[in-house]
Amino acid sequence: MNRIFQFLSIAFLFVLVFNSCNKKEEKVQESKIISGAIWKDNNGVPINAHGGGMLYHDGVYYWYGEHKVEGLVGNTAQVGFHCYSSTNLYDWNDEGIVLRVVEDDPDHDIAKGVIMERPKVIYNQKTKKFVMWFHLEPKGVMYDGAKTAIAIADSPTGNFKYVRSMRPNAGHMPLNAGDLIEKPIHPVALSYRFGGSAIPFSTDSLNLVKRDFKNGQMSRDQTLFVDDDGTAYHIHASEENATLHISKLTDDYTDTTGEYVRVFPDRFMEAPAIFKKDGKYYLIASGCTGWAPNASRSAVAENIFGPWQELSNPFKGELAYISYDSQGNYVLPIAGKKDAFMYMGDRWNPTNPIDGRYVWLPIKFDIDGYPYVDYLPEWDFSEYEK
In the complex, the residues that contact ligand DGJ under the rule CB under 6 A are 51, 117-118, 221, 270-271, 290-291, 327
The smaller minimum CB distance to ligand DGJ, of residues 50 and 129, is found at 50
Q: Least distance from C-beta 53 to ligand DGJ, angstroms?
A: 12
Q: Least distance from C-beta 250 to ligand DGJ, angstroms?
A: 25
The smaller minimum CB distance to ligand DGJ, of residues 143 and 201, is found at 143
Residue 186 DSSP class: P
The smaller minimum CB distance to ligand DGJ, of residues 51 and 362, is found at 51
The smaller minimum CB distance to ligand DGJ, of residues 109 and 221, is found at 221
Q: Is 284 helix (H, G, I), strand (E, B) or coil?
A: strand
Spatial contact of 41 and 93, defined as CB atoms under 8 Å apart:
yes
CA–CA distance, 378 with 32 (Å, rounded to integer):
6
Q: Least distance from C-beta 19 to ligand DGJ, angstroms?
A: 38
How many Cα atoms sit within 13 Å of 378 on the Cβ side? Answer: 10
**Cα 120 to Cα 69, 124, 136, 290, 336, distances in angstroms:** 20, 13, 13, 20, 22
**Cα 30 to Cα 148, 203, 324, 359, distances in angstroms:** 36, 48, 22, 16
The smaller minimum CB distance to ligand DGJ, of residues 168 and 172, is found at 168
Which residue, judged by CB position, is nearest to ligand DGJ in the bound state?
A: 290
The smaller minimum CB distance to ligand DGJ, of residues 67 and 118, is found at 118
**Which of 274, 270, 292, 295 is closest to 283 using CA atoms?**
274
CA–CA distance, 269 with 305 (Å, rounded to integer):
17
Q: Least distance from C-beta 28 to ligand DGJ, angstroms?
A: 25
The smaller minimum CB distance to ligand DGJ, of residues 29 and 286, is found at 286
Q: Residue 385: what are its φ and ψ, rounded to 5°?
A: -85, -15
CA–CA distance, 213 with 315 (Å, rounded to integer):
36
Q: Least distance from C-beta 4 to ligand DGJ, angstroms?
A: 58
Q: Least distance from C-beta 331 to ligand DGJ, angstroms?
A: 15
Q: Least distance from C-beta 118 to ligand DGJ, angstroms?
A: 6
Q: Is 363 helix (H, G, I), strand (E, B) or coil?
A: strand
Q: Are strands 371-373 and 327-333 parallel, antiparallel or unpaired?
A: unpaired
